[in-house]
A and B are shown apart, each in its own frame.
Chain A
Amino acid sequence: MESLDRRPTDWGGHVALVHDSERQRRIGVADWVRRGLDLGAKVLYIEPEDAPPERSLLGVLEEHALRVDVALADGRLEIFAASDEVYSPTWQEGVTDQALAVGYPSVRWSGEERTAWSVMSPARHTEIEWETDLLCDTRPVSIMCQYSAHLPQAALETVCAVHGAGVRDSQLQALPTPEGLALAGSADAANDRLLRSMLVARAATAAADGGRITVDLAELEFLDVAGARALWTGTTAHRMSGGTVRLTRSLPRVDRMLRLLGVHQAQGFEMEDALE
């Protein structure tokens, strides 16, 4: 059975799962539910009332041989039909607090962007996404929002901006840090748009605090020319307006790729020596 990469990074908080295909989405969702139940969390899922069986959460879990009858029966897993109400931050806060009050150590929420868009406008949904960070900051909550990787670039940048705990796809994780961004996994021609979006989003907020962002590459196992180009183009506006981008703790092979492409000599980049 296939599973997403597991990294030491704790993927709590408000995170986006960006998937290129339905297959990747299903793997990501099954993995996330399994992890939640393993942790003893209460798992809450929002889907359309009329979700076809093959797309529904239960369909996904069945496909990945995850038996949830007991979890459903005793309330550890709960599925809500999408409505204006279930997306209201106040309502979500109430349900979350109730779960915490009865003894769950943490709570997990997930749903697809298209589910939300079936009951509200994308603009309204984005507003709610911004507020969702607050719920995660104040409670032991993990919210994983599912988005298609095929969204237009601007929309993808918004997705990256509103998820305080970062974005991930099947092979790359990008986690905002106080100094900038930490990358884990592989950055290549399959996810260069996502990486670029994340850098644009992060650079936009960093411009306000001193103009320097640090990209921690310690967990980045592979970077190809397309990935390096994303590091470059995703920070172009930031660097050209006087900002700097510090690339730190890269593995030797990642360092080699960056140097072959002249990133170490490019305006606005600072590169530390590679990890040995």
Chain B
Amino acid sequence: MSETVPIVNGRYSHDLLLHDSDEELVDGTAWFVEQGLESGGQVLVHSTEARVALFREVLGTHPRLEYGLDEDLYLSPSRTLFAYQRKLAESPRPIELWATGTVPLGDDAVGHPAWGRYESLVNEVLGPYAFHGLCSYDTQVLPERTIAAAKAAHPHVGTGDQRTASPTYQHPADFLADPLAGVPDPPSGPPGATMTIPGVHHLRQVRGLVRRTCVSSSAVARDTVDDFVAAVNEVVVNGLHHGGAPVRLALWVDPARLTCLVTDLGPGIGDRLSGYRYPDPDGPKGLWVARQLCEDIFVGSLPDGGSGVLVIAE
């Protein structure tokens, strides 16, 4: 039997609530909300419109209790992740935030890995703050793999006197390397464009090539293309400054998805978690900004040495 552990106010916690009935969900949520209100912190309960109505009925109102809709707050994993980070990091006064809800994984299992990685990265991104999360997963409807990923992404499971350390929890860097994380490979087909980038004076050419290729061969919104171009620009700058020549770029453009692989032959940034933490005022910010300009960025090593950074927008 694992030992029961309480949530510590003022610190970070990220818990998993597995339930197979509405009753379990409501009970667990009510306990968490009570903890939050008692701590003096702000509490956010987010869910679908129907569930929010249910919670409102049971939990009532409180000046520090807020209800939110997933369709407003959980649009995409990267947006949600950095929105929480900014809220906590940029608050003029320290705040303690308690958030609970069901992460909207999407209707099919395709979106599950992206939100699974989000769950794990929450530990890296929000770890330094007084943030508490309780994420509910319905074991009746969700596939086993998704539940396994949730267990690996949450340091603790259960609520109240059932709250224990998750035995299969993995550090985010390890989680990203695990097949459960579903990190995509670069597309297997031939790239639509490639370029070798000798130096920063070729950045403008890089941006021109990426923009032209994306605009001519995809139906992705113009703003998304602009952001993608800016994200690729930052990743290339990183490669030129910290990587080993030659820095190369390969671009795959589908009607709804843009993928760019930037490689170099240096030891590279190596750390899969680079650019997630809120940056120091004078520290590097390129990758942190780039991560907020696209859907996903994966940092890794190439099989035959060097490093590769995969930038994806949709």
Contacts and interface: CB of A to CB of B under 8 A. Distances in A.
Interface of A: 20-21, 24, 170-171, 186, 188-190, 222, 224-226, 229, 252-253, 256-257, 260-262, 265
B237 A189 contact: yes
A224 B230 contact: yes
Interface of B: 90, 199-201, 203-204, 207, 223, 226-227, 230, 233-234, 237, 240-241, 285-286, 289, 292-293
Given A190-B203, A252-B223, A261 B230 contact: no
A260 B234 CA distance: 13
A155 B295 CA distance: 42
Contacts of B292: 260
B201 A21 contact: yes
B167 to A, nearest CB: 38
A241 B139 CA distance: 60
Q: Which 4 A-B pairs have the closest CB atoms?
A: A190-B200, A189-B200, A189-B237, A253-B226
Contacts, number: 55
Nearest to A224: B233
Given A224-B234, A225-B234, A257-B230, A190 B285 contact: no
B201 A190 contact: yes
Q: Give chain B's interface secondary structure class.
A: helix
Contacts of A252: 223
Nearest to B286: A225
Max chain B Cβ within 10 angstroms of own Cβ: one of A189, A190, A229: A189
A118 to B, nearest CB: 27
A70 to B, nearest CB: 35
Contacts of B201: 20-21, 24, 170, 190
Contact of A226 (B90, B223, B237, B293): B237
Contacts of A262: 90
Contacts of B223: 252-253
A262 B91 CA distance: 12
Contact of B237 (A222, A224, A256): A224
A188 B204 contact: yes
Contacts of B289: 225, 257, 260-261
A175 B102 CA distance: 53
Contacts of B241: 189
A54 to B, nearest CB: 21
A186 to B, nearest CB: 6
A260 B289 CA distance: 7
Contacts of B227: 253, 256
A24 B201 CA distance: 10
B198 to A, nearest CB: 11
Contact of B230 (A170, A190, A253, A265): A253
B214 to A, nearest CB: 14
A226 B285 CA distance: 9
A226 B204 CA distance: 14
Nearest to A256: B227
A224 B226 CA distance: 12
B90 A189 contact: no
B90 A188 contact: no
A190 B200 CA distance: 5
Contacts of A225: 234, 237, 285-286, 289
B235 to A, nearest CB: 11
Contact of A189 (B203, B226, B230, B285): B203
B204 A186 contact: yes
A170 B201 CA distance: 9
Contacts of B199: 190
Nearest to A23: B201
A185 to B, nearest CB: 9
A260 B226 CA distance: 15
B200 A188 contact: yes
